[in-house]
Amino acid sequence: MDVLGQPARYALRAVDLKDMVVINLWNAGEQRPVETLSGGESFLVSLSLALACQN
């Protein structure tokens, strides 16, 4: 999904009820646990998830 003309960078995928992975679309679809996100990446993903849940 494009936001403000920018291509999406991250996608979230629930592995099971406790675990989620982040898919970095700018890095060849690399999948990694959300615990490995940097502070800035964690902020972006959290904000995006909150805004998505708002709608």
**pLDDT surpasses 80 at 1:** no
Provide the token pair at 4: 């403000």
Tokens of 6: 């920018």
- What amino acid is encoded at 13 in this protein? R
**pTM assigned to the model:** 0.68
- So what's the pLDDT on residue 9? 83
pLDDT in the model for residue 2 = 57
The DSSP call for residue 35 is G
Confidence of residue 5 (pLDDT cuts 50, 70, 90): low
Q: How confident is the model at residue 32 (pLDDT cuts 50, 70, 90)?
A: very high
At 39-55, the pLDDT tens digits run 998 998 888 888 888 86
